[in-house]
Chain A
Amino acid sequence: MTATTANGLTGGADPQRTDDAAKRPSESRAVMGVKLLMALAALLFMLRPLTTTAGLVAAATAIVAAFVVARWAYTRGMRQPAAVVGGVAFSGLAWLLSNLVRDAGWLAGLLGVEGAIIASDVLLFGGALFGVLFTIRFLAQSGRLFTVIEALLIVFSVVYTFSDHRHLRLNQPRFFSDWALSNGIDPTVVLMGMGVTIMLLALVMFMRRQGGLKAILSMLFAIIVGVGVYLYIDDDKVQPAVLTNGLGLTSDEQSDNKDSQSNNDGQSDQNNDGPSGGNGGGDGDSPYKQNYDNSDKPKPVAVVAFHDDYEAPEGILYFRQQVKSKFNETHLAADGTYDHDVIDVFPQAASGSGPVAAAPSQNLDFHKKVPTSVYLIAQHPQPVALTHATELKPLDNPNSRVFTAAYGVTSHVLAGDMRRLLGRPSVPDEWTDEQRAHYLAVPDDPRYEALSDILVRDLDPRFRDDQLMKALVIKRYLEKEGYYTRTETHTDESDPTASFLFGSLRGYCVHFAHSAAFLFRSQGIASRVAVGYAVDTRKRSGGSNLLIYGSAAHAWPEIHIAGVGWVTFDIYPEQSDEPPTQVVDQDLESLLGEMAREDPTGGRADDPNKSPFPWLTILWSIIGLLGLLLLTSYGIKIWRRLKPRFGSDSGSHVWTLRAALDRLADVGITREHGETRERFAARVAETTPSLAALTSANLSGALGRGTDPRETSRIYDAVSSEFRDNVHWFRRLLGNLNPIGWAFTR
């Protein structure tokens, strides 16, 4: 019973137990220690790239302090509301102060810029972190349910550190992927292993007061579970890739974007609607609904490998997923009745159906065959392929954790001079009336025809009846007058296309595509809207692999020319408020391309090991620091050991006893707190019987009449020789090597 306070109590019948009863039981010290280590490792790991060294030191201090203070407050019986209010208020105050220090000019002047940044960091990562952690720790001790916050914090710090790898950007985070790739390890394997490990470690956060044996047994069992789960989720059947709608946009990002419409100054060049595509109908959603991939980090959706060199005539490659041709009151919707030239099923190797071919529509005289391989990263309802795909062959998936589908494509791309297309009608004669009506249906709005008539009226009389020229005029008109912006969606209008075309002429690709299609159709040109990705190859630096980002999603009109087939007829507005295209991440492109070629290292195995993080320097400085500490403590040890030989006579009673106690402490024999020296000497009499005499000499010197230095050193020699005789040489050796034994001498 060590408690010295009697703080009231509750009605136990044993009065001696009262002191302990007043204290709330918390988790055992060992468990808290393990939790503290976990929190330190995880949080510092997360904060390392975010703050300065001073901030890191402050954060480490704050973590330790939060653990200790929260335990103290809890066992002392602090009330829960007080702890929460106090912790949050402290946190908020520190945050405010940190902002003030960073933003206030006069402070920066006072402290210097660097000083202000350090001060602000220390306040934020020391103060605010302390408040938050204190609250969480306190809650976790008071209710088991709250431990979930604590565990999630640990998990979150690791997840956050590795969050750059999301959406298959497997070359991120650099510090990790460079290492993994250069060692020929598939990063996904390591990432999943990391996840399993961190959860197993976070389990510790759920423990309270466990017997060691049970805890170890359970942790072993949990590790087995972890390994089992890891092996299970590593299986092919689980697709960790992005589940998207037709255009590589995830559902939650769509909703995110709706919220951030007003400030979507993102960097992607082209945009498109996200109709529900192959999911049937698509009449539920208006195609004008704005869906951008405007996040900071565009997500890869597919890798295309070109088998031959191919340069797009205008520098833009169109990858079509779907076409919309069925007029549906205000817009065009997908309808497979007549679009037989578009392949809407994946080729299945397993089912034995083999290659899937499209209905022949493109005249080979005007087209060139381009073979490509497509590796889809995001899931798509329909295959994405370079226009105009005529055949899809199944391919083996090279890495099922990265790619959702792989297939070879044979595309017919328009080749040769555009002028060759002139002088042909749009609608071939062999089309049935229904087919004709299907591709020429326009809204019941006379303005379309009126506008198109006005546009084609100025046409050179030579081409007055040439439908391609008419289409070009309409295209030129939209390109000249239209203004590309994503800020005006027209979604509130009953007919967004009309609102765009006869209104501001400000809108984005869906508006342009639909307007063009309706104008074409009103001039008797069969047209439809294609949906997919348009990749600007002019910004690329070459290479046979092409990485398609979700941000390249696009919609464009296609027109039909009899005897030629469907022709991509995109509008390029001259006025735009879009920033220039983001530079393609070549690194990721080649990495994913190599992975598609079944090289798990992404072609990096030969790269020299260039670790951007100075592991070695840190390691050496830690070793150096430890060495210095070691040397210092050995110095102190030797000095204390030799002091009896060279020290003054007046202090010999102190030096000798201290040196003798040092020896004992080196081999782990120390005095307990509150134990008197004589009692300790009696306790170790088996080892060093003369220690009692030495102790007497010391006490006599300190409290009595003094001692004879020669006598003292004689006793000291006796102690030394007894120590040599009675302690096993191996233990003595270890004791001599022990650098910190003297610190335990009391």
Chain B
Amino acid sequence: MSTLPDAHDVAAVAPPTPSAGPSLSMTADKAREVTSRVQAWMSHNVMGRDDVIELVLIALFGDGHVLLEDYPGSGKTTLANALGNAIDDDGHAEDKLPEFRRMQFTPDLLPSDITGVMMFDLESNTFHFRRGPVFAYVVLVDEINRTTPKVQASLLEAMAEKQVTVDNETHQLDDLFFVIATQNPLDAVGTYPLPLAQLDRFLFKIKMRHIARDAELEVLASWGKPRKATDLPKASRSEILATRRFIREEIVVSPHIHVALVDIARALRADKRVIQGVSTRSLVLAIPALQTLALLRGRDYVSPEDISDLAVPLWQHRMELVPGIDDASLVISDCIKPPLEALSRATLRG
């Protein structure tokens, strides 16, 4: 975490204030306080996953979606659940949406099962739209690669455009539409792997490692005991949206950072171990993520450290590697070095 004195104080003192109205004017302190509330809620519920929680947080506030990849039983669902519960609907949406929905993808799922269907209403003698499970703030999509490409595609449209189209009628999703998808590792039987183009829509693909020994012990110890989750303050939808806006507008992204990002992308495309490099979209998506991380670290500007920390989760799933090369993170960490070095040197030049 940051060592800026003021950031330190905020993190330590952050009082659990009740949620304010949507028109609240954001300050950096306030924004950090919102994020720390969500983080505190999640850390309370999910043990030993602080690294993943931070990434999920970045995706939430950076307006992206995450894909978790792990073997079954590693706490993906718990994590998503915790996030959904951390968000409180403060009733400012036009109509009430659930904070959290979970979808289990199976091979026999149909697109309408997730987007919703047009129902004939006998009373009004008209069709009206019945919302599917995507109409929520936080959507957990379990085992996204178990369903057919058709269903995957409809979800991905929703993710990219924040809208669903049923019978030529477009329905807007909430601004705070956040998808946590999980998938099993590729070699499991009977899967429909997501193509690269679709993976590109996820801000992060997070490979979850097994948690630390102590955390695992704690999980066992606390199993079955009711958790006093209600003690902790939640963050409201409008707070989160305001924080997003604040991050977008107030965290400075220097032209040097833009240069470094473009250079990294070019280096990744030129690397001989890479068949298909990262897209321009990924760079655009990266900026809010970097801004969010900067906020979390108590800064009002994006620094090289942010790029260095986020490079692997940002880009590892967006590249196709030459057969025989497994580890995208190695390629990425090789490729980010020269641009970051140039960036570091630039800051020492008067």
Contacts and interface: CB of A to CB of B under 8 A. Distances in A.
A699 B252 contact: no
A102 B72 CA distance: 82
Given A16-B325, A693-B4, A705 B252 contact: yes
A4 B256 contact: no
B337 A673 contact: yes
B349 A4 contact: no
B301 A705 contact: yes
B263 interface: no
B262 to A, nearest CB: 16
Interface in A660-705: 661, 671, 673-674, 676-679, 681, 689, 692-693, 696, 698-705
B341 A673 contact: yes
A654 B350 contact: yes
Contacts of A705: 252, 300-301
A700 B334 contact: no
B326 interface: yes
Interface in B314-350: 322, 324-327, 330, 334-338, 340-341, 344-350
Interface in B232-284: 252, 254, 256-257, 271-273
Contact of A678 (B256, B300, B303, B338): B303
A15 B301 contact: no
Contacts of B254: 702-704
A180 interface: no
B276 to A, nearest CB: 15
Interface in B31-62: none
A699 B298 CA distance: 13
A623 interface: no
B302 interface: yes
Given A6-B322, A16-B325, A703-B254, A657 B348 contact: yes
Contact of A4 (B271, B322, B348): B271
A700 B301 contact: yes
Interface residues of B, number: 39
A704 B341 contact: no
B344 A15 contact: no
Given A1-B330, A696-B2, A702 B337 contact: no
A196 to B, nearest CB: 49
B98 interface: no
A340 interface: no
A393 B299 CA distance: 104
Nearest to A653: B347
B192 to A, nearest CB: 26
A689 B256 CA distance: 27
Main secondary structure of the interface of A (DSSP, over half): helix
Interface residues of A, number: 37
Nearest to A682: B3
A263 interface: no
A6 B325 contact: yes
B252 A4 contact: no
Given A658-B348, A703-B254, A705-B252, A676 B305 contact: yes
B304 interface: yes
A2 B272 contact: no
B272 A5 contact: yes
B311 to A, nearest CB: 11
A35 B26 CA distance: 66
A693 B3 contact: yes
Contact of B337 (A654, A658, A674, A696): A674
B305 A702 contact: no
A651 interface: yes
A674 B340 contact: yes
B5 interface: yes
B308 interface: yes
A369 interface: no
A276 B349 CA distance: 84
Given A674-B337, A674-B341, A704 B273 contact: no
A61 interface: no
Contacts of B330: 1, 16
Contacts of A29: none
22 contacts: A4-B272, A15-B324, A15-B326, A16-B326, A651-B350, A654-B348, A654-B349, A657-B348, A676-B304, A676-B305, A677-B305, A678-B303, A696-B4, A699-B347, A700-B301, A703-B254, A703-B301, A704-B252, A704-B254, A704-B300, A705-B252, A746-B344
Interface of A: 1-2, 4-7, 15-16, 18, 651, 654-655, 657-658, 661, 671, 673-674, 676-679, 681, 689, 692-693, 696, 698-705, 745-746
A-B pairs, top 6 by smallest CB distance, nearest first, are: A704-B301, A674-B337, A15-B324, A703-B254, A702-B347, A678-B305
